Amino acid sequence: MDRRKFVKTAGVAGLAGTAGLLSACGGKAGVSDCAESTAGPAAEAIEWKMVTTWPRDFPGLGTGATHLADLIGKLSNGRLKVKVYGGNELVPPFEVFDAVQRGTAEMGHGGAYYWKGKIPASQFLGGWPFGLTGNEMNGWFYHGGGLEIYHEAYAPSGLIPFPVGNSGTQMGGWVNKEINSVADLNGLKMRIPGVGAEVLKRIGGTPVNIPGAELFTALQSGTIDATEWVGPMNDLAFGLFRAAKYYYYPGWHEPGSALEGIVNAEAWASLAPDLQQIVETACKAASMDMYADFEARNGTALNTLINEHQVELRAFPDEVLDELKRVSFEVLEELAAADEMSGKVWASFKAYFDTIRGWTEIGSQYFLNRR
């Protein structure tokens, strides 16, 4: 299969496929209704495995992967069935990339920055410090040339990536001491992945990357001094409020973290064209649903953390954020200069950011500051 041809036509095909499905359904909104009305008798089912970096059915992240699998099964009328395995059920969380690449599983779900040792550009592709919001990331992927670059970056590894979800703007993290100055970050041993990890290191901290399921124990035991995870919904689910006193914002390191679904290229090529379209369309639908889930539930979870568990919210001081921003862009430029594909991704991000920045400032940002 010509992957480049697939990439160039992905956006148009996605819209056409979605329109076709809805038209065939007579405008029905329910996925199950749609599947029943558009497909004939189910042929012999193709069975895929999906491995994830998250615990099974963990709120937002794990449930988003399960939702994607369900969508693929329903839209294909059972022709393509996807079984989901949480972290450590089939492979360890950080071995998802390898498992999909070698064909142990046909699909994977996780965060792109986990694979920076294999694809340096991947640490840009989930978002970057002081960068794009979730909505802006979606704009870049689907209408700013991002999806084409995304596919190009993963092609040498025999993988086809799709955006599958976004956590929105994250929280800055959980700490047992107040952060009043840049000096307070010196020596801080903190769980933080991606570019943010290198930024913390440059400032004098010690970054650690461990799976989410291990965070509570590591923080409670003192193995780490601080951790970021996602946001109120996920942090509440892990009980992190029991292991740290202060909850900092904003999530400067992940202002709009895009999650990804990766597909083994040979498994993809073996699918009939309509099944390929179903997988692509399901990825788009699951991506929108996950983002909406985070937006809807984070507010309730934050209220619970504050009112029921007496969590103390703290904003990072301007001095700290200014220095984190300065170092972030220093690191990003260095990473882009060290790797050709990273440079291409970074150039695309900057060009896109320059075109949308003014609109964001006078549109949503200006409005939200006065709402």
Mean pLDDT in each 10-residue stretch from start to end of the chain (371 residues)?
41 40 42 44 83 95 97 98 97 98 98 96 96 97 98 98 97 96 97 96 96 95 97 97 97 97 98 98 98 97 97 98 98 98 98 96 95 94
Alpha helices in the chain (DSSP H): 3-24, 31-38, 61-75, 96-102, 122-125, 134-143, 146-154, 194-203, 215-221, 232-237, 265-269, 273-307, 318-338, 340-360, 366-368
170 and 230 in contact (C-beta within 8 Å)? yes
Q: Among 70, 119, 72, 66, which residue's Cα sits nearest to residue 89?
A: 66
pLDDT of residue 43: 61
Pairing state between β 46-52 and 258-264? unpaired
- Identify the CATH homologous superfamily for domain 3-167+256-295: Bacterial extracellular solute-binding protein, family 7 (3.40.190.170)
Location of structure tokens 């022709």: 79
Q: Among 105, 166, 162, which residue's Cα sits nearest to residue 277?
A: 162
Phi, psi (rounded to 5 degrees) for 177:
-140, 155
Q: Among 290, 183, 175, which residue's Cα sits nearest to residue 228?
A: 175
Q: Among 340, 294, 341, 288, which residue's Cα sits nearest to residue 125?
A: 341
Encoded tokens for 20: 């076709």
- 146-154 and 340-360 helices, crossing angle to 10°: 160
Report which DSSP code applies to 169.
Answer: S
Query: For residues 352 and 335, what is the distance between their CA atoms, to the nearest angstrom?
Result: 19
pLDDT of residue 267: 98
pLDDT of residue 14: 43
- 340-360 and 318-338 helices, crossing angle to 10°: 140
pLDDT of residue 26: 40
Location of structure tokens 């990072």: 316
Q: Among 206, 225, 236, which residue's Cα sits nearest to residue 306?
A: 236
pLDDT of residue 36: 45
137 and 166 in contact (C-beta within 8 Å)? yes
For 280-294, give one letter per residue: b (16+ CB within 10 A) or e: bbbbbbbbebbbebb
Report which DSSP code applies to 245.
Answer: S
pTM here is: 0.87
Phi, psi (rounded to 5 degrees) for 301:
-65, -40
368 and 360 in contact (C-beta within 8 Å)? no
Report which DSSP code applies to 209.
Answer: -
Distances in Å between the Cα of 327 and the Cα atoms of 110, 173, 255 are 26, 19, 16
